[in-house]
Amino acid sequence: MNRQTAVAVPGMPVASLRRWLAPLAWLSLLLLLTAGMTHLEWLFRLIEPDTRQVIYRRAGFFTLLAQHVLVVGAASLLAVTLGVGAAVAVTRTAGRDFLPMVSQLASIGQTFPPVAVLALAVPALGFGTLPIIVALLLYGLLPIVRNTLAGIDGIDPEVREAARGMGMTAGQILRQVELPLAAPVILAGIRTSVTINIATAALGATVGASNLGDPIISGIVNGNTAYIVQGALLIGLLALCVDSTFDRMQRRPDA
């Protein structure tokens, strides 16, 4: 018994390293490109041979990346808290009456185009980061609410019945049974929400929230395709990086 454990332990980090290989690969590619974009001038010259400046220089790519991550992170954190919280609240006995309302509200949030939200949010909140966070929050809420509802709804009622019958309190059932069992479905919702928002956040550049959308907007305005490609490349890599991380998280080691 002891021998087996002794053999298994050194094997563990290797196995988990292999599991995280894809996200790590995307991450290193993202960081490498962010750091080395200026060295690729010759490459972007091929796209824009006639323009004087082919590398976006108004802000460092690292700064833009950090701001992008921050905006998406803040919006997603809020969306997860609100989305999971609301979905859990309306699946309790006390909150059942609000279930249709909440799922409808979340649907409306997604039918509203983020550009329209931005246009409405700017007069109310001013230029900058706040309106884009609000837009992303509203846009990202639906997949999280919908999946949390589906995840909790999909739990075998007999399991919940047994949990009650064993003498678990409502809080214990939620934390130890419902949320862990619904976790894969909830995680899938968060994954969709965050991935979409990484792309949508680029719109923030139009309202003065500087992020990886800056080179894209600037490229469109100035007719500089190289700028657009630089912004799009980094956003794409960031999305792949986050998406593959979620992919690994959803695959349980025991499954």
Partner 1 sequence: MIELFDVTKRFGSETAVDGISLRVEKGELCALVGTSGCGKSTTLRMINRLIEHDGGEIHLDGQPVRNFDEVELRRRIGYVIQSTGLFPHWTVARNIGLVPRLLRWPKARVRERVEELMHLLGLSVAEFAGKYPRQLSGGQAQRVGVARALAADPDILLMDEPFGALDPITRETLQQEMRELQARLHKTVVFVTHDMDEALALADRLVVMHQGRIVQQGKPIELLHEPANPFVESLLGGLDRGLKEAALIQVSERMLPLGPRLLASERIPYGAPLSQALSVMLWHRVDRLTVVDEEDIPIGELSLRRLLGAKTS
Q: What's the min distance (Å) between Cβ of 8 and partner 1?
A: 13
Q: Min. distance of Cβ 214 from partner 1 in angstroms? A: 44
Q: Does 167 bind partner 1 (CB under 8 A)?
A: yes
Cβ proximity to partner 1, 119 vs 187, nearer residue? 187
Exactly one of 33, 105, 150, 168 binds partner 1 (CB under 8 A); which one?
168
> Rounded to whole angstroms, how far apart are CA atoms 98 and 189?
21
Using the rule CB under 8 A, which residue among 14, 94, 97, 158 binds partner 1? 158
Instruction: Identify which of 196, 253, 232, 237 has the alpha carbon closest to the alpha carbon of residue 22.
Output: 237
Residue with Cβ nearer partner 1 (18 or 252): 252
The span from the CA of 198 to the CA of 187, in Å, is 16
Using rule CB under 8 A, residue 54 touches partner 1: no
Span from 5-13, 31-39, 74-82, 169-177 in contact with partner 1 (CB under 8 A): 169-177
Q: Taking the complex as a whole, how short is the minimal distance between the CB of residue 16 and partner 1, in angstroms? A: 19
Nearest CB to partner 1, comparing residues 11 and 167? 167
CA-closest candidate to residue 22, choices 250, 249, 248: 248
Cβ proximity to partner 1: between 43 and 159 the closer is: 159
Measured from the CB of residue 177, what is the shortest distance to partner 1 in angstroms?
Answer: 6
Q: How many CB atoms lie within 10 A of CB 149?
A: 24
| Smallest distance, partner 1 to C-beta of residue 193, A | 24
- Cα separations in angstroms, 245 against 78, 211, 233: 20, 22, 18
Contact yes or no for 236/69 (Cβ under 8 A): no
Place of tokens 């995307």: 26
Helices 179-200 and 129-153 cross at an angle (nearest 10°) of 150
State the minimum distance, in angstroms, from the CB of residue 34 to partner 1. Answer: 39
8 binds partner 1 (CB under 8 A): no
Number of residues that bind partner 1 (CB under 8 A): 17
- Asked if 87 and 141 count as a contact pair (C-beta separation under 8 A), the reply is no
Angle (CA) 31-33-38 rounded to 5° is 125
Site for partner 1 in 171-230 (CB under 8 A): 172, 177, 180-181
Measured in whole angstroms, the distance separating CA 72 from the mean position of its chain's CA atoms is 7
Residues contacting 134, CB < 8 A, separation 6+: 117, 121, 125
With binding defined as CB under 8 A, does residue 10 bind partner 1? Answer: no
| Among 21, 25, 77, 159, contact with partner 1 (rule: CB under 8 A) | 159
Identity at 132, one-letter amino acid code: I
Stretch that binds partner 1, among 7-15, 103-111, 151-159, 190-198 (CB under 8 A): 151-159
What residues line the site for partner 1 (CB under 8 A)? Answer: 156, 158-159, 161-169, 172, 177, 180-181, 254
